[in-house]
Structure 1
């Protein structure tokens, strides 16, 4: 059964089919994209999605879209079938477009697949992080939440993640939960803890997802994990707000183990203009 992360990445393309034009690089402009039933009439195998790309009213390309989280030797047999099946069904150029968050899986997926003893090869088109725009502002993220989430997956840093979470949390509950879970699953451990802690903060104005997760009974972790998460949350907020953190300030933040003080600093980090104000007594 596909994981929630797999489903989340498929959902991005389902809700924003235009993401498939990333497969075309600089020549992507001018295409209209629609999704079709992924059941191929000549095959028992089904890709995650099928996208049809039209230009000037004519069908130009049929793509089997595959989200790949790990290596799977079976795909080396089914991917060529997807392409030939689509080519026969739609009578146009066809290929397989792979979205793989893991660098190792991307390397594996783009390796040409031998088809016969005569030298024929099949080459999947694998999306590279460099081909996905870095979303720089919350406004841009809200304008295209699916691209923002894909950007956060391809560039798994705190600043990209927080912008994507802000954009996703405005969507309907089902989509928001799926997108945010996908973002969190793509982050390194410390940054994931920081973002989760930030969303659980009472001052976090985009906390609906965190509240739903708490209602489902998800644990927050041990005390030391909570402190680590609070430290990272403070530094994440300051970074997002472009407040310079001195070496002395960073040391002071990381040395603190008082939960109430750390919570106070999280709230203050959302409001201050310079780092010295973080430590001022109320």
Structure 2
């Protein structure tokens, strides 16, 4: 006789006992994250993302030669892009902590300081090459951390400096998703301040030495709830939008120093292409959100235009 021994099957019970809410609250910009689980259990909390606290540079510059304005503007834009990238990594760290107690310093703030040192050197070289006195900007390279939810001060939206009269302050997206959406003055937390909507795009060209700046609709403060899985990509594209504006401002600075083209040159060669690039970036934002929650905010593309100059 063959005995069959029946072993009881073991069933592993997977208990979802209170999934923590992993949400990065991005205050002031209207950019919030969907909670990881609506039924979060006891002890789950909302963790906020810290932001990079870097010294502003634009307001430390004075008497920038006209021939150096375009190069200086490009490096100021690079500094803001570096901050945006660091903030994206800080947001990821808040949502998914890793490394030891020195991880942020060693993996985020340290490399940021190195990149800032290189950009600050290039600013000084640009000024010196154009006949100006090279400023000592080395002390501005090191960054700390803001408390969670506080915005980073940036240069592209400062508008207070005197970089060869280049830039009157622009409404932008600041540091993607860190509460600095559309700050005309760096870190003031007032969305849409600055020169948003002022001026008349394409009305002739700025006179030599007086650079116009471009203003476009802000995006960060008009976003719906952003799922945590889409945050990093959305932040990258918000940073791209600001970098696009900075690139356009650098071209406007070049136009001021060396006017070219006819009455429609600014509209056709600078503002129009900028709006086209904004369409692509905003569509990528909408796709990133829709890919996660199925609700693609197609109406965001309406914020690509109009961009104006003043």
Q: Same fold (TM over 0.5)?
A: no
Give the structure with the larger helix fraction. 1
Q: TM-score, normalised by structure 2?
A: 0.24
* Relative contact order higher in (CA < 8 Å, ≥ 6 apart): 2
Q: TM-score, normalised by structure 1?
A: 0.26
Larger radius of gyration: 2
